[in-house]
Chain A
Amino acid sequence: MEKKNKQKVMLGMSGGVDSSVAAYLLQQEGYEVIGVTMQIWTDTSNDDGCCSLSAVEDARRVANKLGIAYYVFNMKEDFQKYVIEYFVKEYESGRTPNPCIACNRYVKFGSLLDKAKSMNIDYVATGHYAIIEKVEGRYLLKKAIDDTKDQSYVLYNLNQEQLSKTLFPLGKYKKSEIREIAKELGFGVASKPDSQEICFVDDNDYNNFIKTHSNNTSSIGEIVDIQGNVLGHHNGITKFTIGQRRGLGIALGKPMFVVDIDIENNRVILGENDDLFVKEIYAYDLNWISIDKLDKPLRIKAKIRYKAQEQDATVEPLEEGRVKIIFDEKQRAATPGQSVVFYKDNTVVGGGIIEK
């Protein structure tokens, strides 16, 4: 084996099945793998989050089993700045953020990639399910083979430089195959459940999280209907998201949903299911992957939430880098702060953040 010529890759390891098998697959492909767990969050009693101490222990066991180097990086400051503060601020502004997208953009493929570069390591890799392909000088981000696990949505913010330095070894596998490999290798993590919730929020209780991390103490405001009639009161807008039905704290006799959050007047606006449907939305903070920029209307499929189905739509350029998305059919609960990602077949065209 010519060790000297091996390309090096820094792999983010969470101790879970996916990144553990990713380590093995990269090794099989001939890379020198350096496993890393980012210590991002310690202010929690929860010991099973994706970057907890037990995650470190699981990841270290896998690294030892494969005979790869393994380190723990202290990324608490960056995570605090780019993810936690953003997360809290977005809720305070009446929007519903996606912290995973911010973490990928600024921490995993930002700070971590910088660390890799400074250490002469050629690539960063993660156990995300997505595919990167170079076509005619351009790096494309594509959906994973396993469409039930595809994570291209949370990666739409990667630029050409980041994509050129990133490897996703799992993109061409089905999750069931990955679990099978983990089992064959005897990784203790093979049967660990998939992580689902926001990694830094205990029990998915994000209301409580925001309460303890926000400087703006939540203030009592009105709950109104579309006509402006006061239906009741709330004690903080951060508890609400568009499309929410449960936990409104008032009985109305018919199904009512949050259709808008009026931050200026500290009001939550309720409507009926039909009121949640819109034909057009706007987005800002765009990143384009398969195209350089959007200069004319483009037919695409748009996805407005991680778990949403893609929908036929046209995306049109506006001034100041904003875009307008016109759906063929009305869409339910497009939520400000969430991302809208555009696809052409299996390829990510680009994406941005939904505005009001």
Chain B
Amino acid sequence: MSKTIYLDNAATTKLNPKVLEEMIPYLSDMYGNASSIYHIGRESRKALDLARDKVAKALNAISNEIFFTSGGTEADNWAIKGVAFANEKKGKHIITTNIEHHAVLHTCQYLEKYGFEVTYLPVKENGIIDIKDLNNALRNDTILVSVMFANNEIGTIQPIKEIGKITRERGIYFHTDAVQAVGNIPIDVEDLKIDLLSLSGHKFNGPKGVGVLYIKRGINILPMIHGGGQERNKRAGTENVAGIVGIGKAIELATKDIEKKNKKLTDLRDMTIKGLIERIPDTILNGDPEKRLPGNVNVCFKYIEGESILLMLDMKGVCASSGSACTSGSLDPSHVLLAIGLPHEIAHGSLRLTFSIENTKKDVEYLLETIPPIVERLRQMSPLISKQ
């Protein structure tokens, strides 16, 4: 294969060489346990503190509100279960949406087995919730609202500030899964009135296996992983020092010059969307055309399956995805596309392309040359097209 064009940055991203460089000492000579009193241990402790400061700064939080986890999924699990079990005497009602990542959805479904009631807010056709639905769903026994910042499949951005205002006024905890948002949208947890926020290092050119849960001071939450006293007794386990150093550096780099970066990504995104819709009939853009992540393209080509497009693109060196990458082996129609009202057979034909700043206009041109003949060929073979 002559070249690889990587267009699946919502699945994961390339480790920034500058991040790697900062991590390497902690994978070699600086192997001390951050809890040890001797100097190499203290070096690790120092590195953790520094990384914590960087994450705090990026979110406008304070350092002791930052807790390192094994990734976004753990952060989501902890936020939801930890708040639910700590506050169940106050109430057992949780509100979320039906387009959350499975880390949130399946955690909420798990809590339902333990007597919690969960309201799954629907989204409008553009993939965004209606604030009225949230207001209507709030109850006296609601203890937590969990709404993702930006969707991993269709990239739509939720009205986080409005949600934060409502929940803060009512004294209800507000968690947001910001795994896709960090590095793409400036986030100020004070201004947005967010109580808990999950993020994951590998989504913004940091390493895999490390994430963060931001927990606002004073939030009543139980630990989920018990053991030693790490992370101020809230998350046990010897710290992943190199990973934490990596996420600290990565978030520092990712939250610099967001606007400049976004300008480039938005151009690539809109050029791709426009080109695909112009060149391929019966192409639908999923999600909102504007309130979406700058690097996210998600389209459906009617009458064909996303799976076949992906394979043919793979053979042409293009790494893309259909729906999210978190399914165990193969592709079911995405719950997100079904939630925005697409019929089952169309939801099967989705293609997600997510750009990074390393992508170029040339990549987009290659895409716009490569995709139309693939779609045309698949449509010729499609059993669905004859039914229309």
A interface with B by C-beta (< 8 Å): 37, 39, 53, 56, 69, 71-74, 114-115, 117-120
Contact = CB atoms under 8 A, between A and B. Distances in A.
A118 B307 contact: no
B377 A120 contact: yes
B308 A119 contact: yes
A74 B308 contact: no
A71 to B, nearest CB: 6
A72 B383 CA distance: 20
B330 A39 contact: yes
Given A117-B381, A118-B377, A120-B377, A53 B328 contact: yes
B218 interface: no
B308 A118 contact: yes
Contacts of A120: 312, 377
Given A71-B311, A73-B307, A74-B307, A114 B332 contact: no
Nearest to A60: B329
Contacts of A71: 311
Contacts of B329: 37, 39, 53, 56, 72
Nearest to A118: B381
Contact of B330 (A69, A72, A114): A72
B338 to A, nearest CB: 15
Contacts, number: 33
Interface size class of B (residues with CB under 8 A): 10 to 19
Contacts of A117: 381
Nearest to A10: B311
A117 B315 CA distance: 15
Interface string B369-388: 00000000110111100000
B285 interface: no
A181 B332 CA distance: 36
A118 B378 CA distance: 6
Interface string B295-322: 0000000000001100110110000000
Nearest to A38: B330
B331 interface: yes
B378 to A, nearest CB: 5
A271 to B, nearest CB: 46
Nearest to B312: A119
A354 to B, nearest CB: 30
A32 to B, nearest CB: 10
A115 B306 CA distance: 12
Contacts of A73: 307, 330
Interface in B322-354: 328-332
Interface of B: 307-308, 311-312, 314-315, 328-332, 377-378, 380-383
A311 B313 CA distance: 51
For the complex of A and B, list the 6 residue pairs with the smallest distance between their C-beta atoms, beginning with the closest: A118-B381, A74-B330, A72-B329, A72-B330, A39-B330, A56-B329
Contacts of B312: 119-120
A72 B329 CA distance: 6
A77 to B, nearest CB: 9
A71 B330 CA distance: 8
Nearest to B383: A114
B332 A74 contact: yes
A115 B314 CA distance: 15
Given A118-B308, A118-B382, 6 more contacts: A53-B328, A69-B314, A72-B330, A73-B307, A73-B330, A119-B312
Contacts of A118: 308, 377-378, 380-382
Contacts of B378: 118
A31 to B, nearest CB: 15
A115 B382 CA distance: 9
Contacts of B332: 74
Nearest to B345: A77
13 contacts: A39-B330, A53-B329, A56-B329, A69-B315, A72-B330, A73-B330, A74-B307, A117-B381, A118-B308, A119-B308, A119-B311, A119-B315, A120-B377
B89 to A, nearest CB: 37
A190 to B, nearest CB: 24
Contacts of B330: 39, 72-74
Contacts of A56: 329
Contacts of A37: 329
A235 B312 CA distance: 52
B250 to A, nearest CB: 29
A337 B367 CA distance: 50
Given A53-B328, A119-B312, A114 B381 contact: yes
Contacts of A115: 308
Contacts of A69: 314-315
B305 to A, nearest CB: 8
A107 to B, nearest CB: 13
Nearest to B380: A118
A331 B314 CA distance: 54
B331 A74 contact: yes
B184 to A, nearest CB: 30
A112 B83 CA distance: 47
A53 B327 CA distance: 12
B144 to A, nearest CB: 31
A349 to B, nearest CB: 31
B82 to A, nearest CB: 30
Contacts of B381: 114, 117-118
A259 B382 CA distance: 45
A115 B328 CA distance: 21
B343 to A, nearest CB: 14
B46 to A, nearest CB: 41
B176 to A, nearest CB: 31
- Which of B311, B315, B332 has most A Cβ within 10 Å? B311
Contacts of B380: 118
Contacts of B315: 69, 119
A42 B331 CA distance: 12
A39 B383 CA distance: 20
B370 to A, nearest CB: 13
A120 B307 CA distance: 15
Contacts of A39: 329-330
A69 B330 CA distance: 15
A115 B332 CA distance: 17
Contacts of B328: 53
A346 to B, nearest CB: 35
B230 to A, nearest CB: 33
Interface core residue of A53, A74, A115 (most chain B CB under 10 Å)? A74
